[in-house]
Amino acid sequence: MDRRNFSKQMIYAGMAVPALKSGSLPDPHEASDLKEDIKNLPAREFDVVVAGGGTAGVVAALAAARNGAKTALIEGKGYVGGTVVEGGTALHSFFNLWKAFPGVEKRQVVRGIPQEIIDRLLLVGGTTGHGDVTGKIDYDCVCTAIDTELYKLVALEMLSEAGVSVFTNTLVAGAVKKGSAIEGIITQSRMGRELFKAKCFIDSTAYGDLSAYAGAEFKELNDHPVCNSMALGNVNIEKMYAYLVSKNALGDLAYGIRDGKEGQIIRFGSESGYVIRGKLPDEFVDEVVKLGAGLITTTVHDNYLMFIKINYRMPVSPTNRDEVAKTELIIRKNQYKTLELFRKYLPGCENAFIARTSPSLNIRRGRTITCDFDIPLSEVIGAVHHDDDILVYGFHDSAPRYQIKNGGTYGLPYRALRVKGIDNLLAAGMLITSDFQAHMSTRNTVCCMAQGQAAGTASAICSAKKIGTRDLKYSDLRNTLEKGNVYFEN
């Protein structure tokens, strides 16, 4: 759906569009005749409302609340964490890319709340810690894998400690505008429809739902496959690893904490069809490539492969519910076929079973929201810093093809989070950055978390000062971020 059609479903100045009749296909033209009187909705009032409690949203809500804002976090699922607990192999990366640059030190460039979450997870055995990736490909990366279930618990505990009002199982379903500002978000839950008012809003829904409902400009680039990552239980990791080594088919390798023991394998495997072709049986390689199955996996526990990705190219953007419904079935069939292949061809996986799948498709892109600034690849790999940096980041998913200059960092400016044309809305997460290769850096979990800290902090200041996001003094934001242990290099 393009922006113009989508906008017909928007809600302006107190008029809202109700849910479509069940069983009918959405026709935005018909639907726009149906009006909802928002005056009758139960209303709640906050300083900051964060839409989407995923990778970026959890950190945004923590930052907003810790900086004094009365904060609500609205999350459609029954838990928080988003793609970090469903799709991503591991958290990449708290560190710079240093290996290709002799003399450059490895240094931790993302700290603050993202590192605090890792520290909390360490206390309960919920992470591998930061492990260097080596191996045949020598992927220049530090891998920080997490126990996805403990992440959900720890994140909810931290939100509760910070005083965030968490509304899980609650869907952001619309926006009420007053001029160029959002007045409130309409939500849908089993308690019916409600209105959440606030001074400042953050869209961290990944899909950009809130921005789109509020009439922001967006693109639907559909330039990535979607995925459903599954976990396999009952796997003998050492046996599988030994087999890959014996066939010279091991791409990545990292060591860290597994089930409380240091120095264990926590990441291993190979890109399907790349390192393994000609080394593992052709019929296995051909099939996994056809199925879109990735063979790089991480693990926090013995006998458990946390993420086996099953990728699939949809013909349209994953905002299309009806195509997504078809894709959910295709991918689940492909997961089962992949399991059968693993059992047959990979020693150590003979008795594996599917221990976990994602409750719905994981996306790498939904809507890309137009913000005041769109960071280009040249600035990412050119290690450019700005007068309004809100974080520094040093990882690129396509390294070593794309490296940050001299193993350094680039800065993401505050402008990159301000949703164009809306006075009180910031975006954080995979929904910013249109350039494919620039996005291959900014979309990574650790960058999304750092964006969350910046967006939450900025929103808290804006709401306290009763100002729009464009009136925020950078020095105020910078000082507060530094107090929150955010690391800068300019």
Ligand X SMILES: Cc1cc2nc3c(=O)[nH]c(=O)nc-3n(C[C@H](O)[C@H](O)[C@H](O)COP(=O)(O)OP(=O)(O)OC[C@H]3O[C@@H](n4cnc5c(N)ncnc54)[C@H](O)[C@@H]3O)c2cc1C
Residues that bind ligand X in the complex, under the rule CB under 6 A: 51-57, 74-77, 82-84, 87-92, 171-172, 204-207, 209, 227, 229, 309, 362-364, 429-430, 443-446, 448
Residues 6+ away with beta carbon under 8 Å from 314: 222, 225, 226, 320, 323, 324, 327
Which of 87, 243 has the CB closer to ligand X? 87
Per DSSP, the residues of 179-227 read TTEEEEEEEEETTEEEEEE-SEEEE--SS-HHHHHTT--EE----S-EE
The distance of closest approach from Cβ of residue 479 to ligand X in the complex, given in angstroms and rounded to an integer, is: 25
The distance of closest approach from Cβ of residue 31 to ligand X in the complex, given in angstroms and rounded to an integer, is: 17
Residue closest to 297 by CA, chosen among 440, 89, 458: 89
Per the CB < 8 A criterion, the answer to whether 472 and 376 are in contact is no
DSSP 8-state code for residue 471: G
- Cα torsion for 343, 346, 348, 353, to the nearest 10°? -30
The distance of closest approach from Cβ of residue 304 to ligand X in the complex, given in angstroms and rounded to an integer, is: 17
Which of 113, 448 has the CB closer to ligand X? 448
- Coil vs helix vs strand at 432: coil
**Measured between alpha carbons, how far is 339 from 354 in angstroms, rounded to an integer?**
7
The distance of closest approach from Cβ of residue 93 to ligand X in the complex, given in angstroms and rounded to an integer, is: 7
- Coil vs helix vs strand at 43: strand
The distance of closest approach from Cβ of residue 283 to ligand X in the complex, given in angstroms and rounded to an integer, is: 25
Which of 88, 408 has the CB closer to ligand X? 88
Which of 109, 236 has the CB closer to ligand X? 109
Which of 171, 293 has the CB closer to ligand X? 171
The two three-digit tokens of residue 347, written as one number: 């020693």
Which of 232, 243 has the CB closer to ligand X? 232
The distance of closest approach from Cβ of residue 473 to ligand X in the complex, given in angstroms and rounded to an integer, is: 27
Which of 48, 363 has the CB closer to ligand X? 363
The distance of closest approach from Cβ of residue 127 to ligand X in the complex, given in angstroms and rounded to an integer, is: 14
Strand partners, 193: 188
Other beta carbons within 10 Å of 67: 23
Per the CB < 8 A criterion, the answer to whether 452 and 56 are in contact is yes
The distance of closest approach from Cβ of residue 342 to ligand X in the complex, given in angstroms and rounded to an integer, is: 18
Per the CB < 8 A criterion, the answer to whether 359 and 81 are in contact is no
Which of 255, 307 has the CB closer to ligand X? 307
Place of tokens 């900086």: 67
The H or E element that residue 285 is part of is helix 282-291
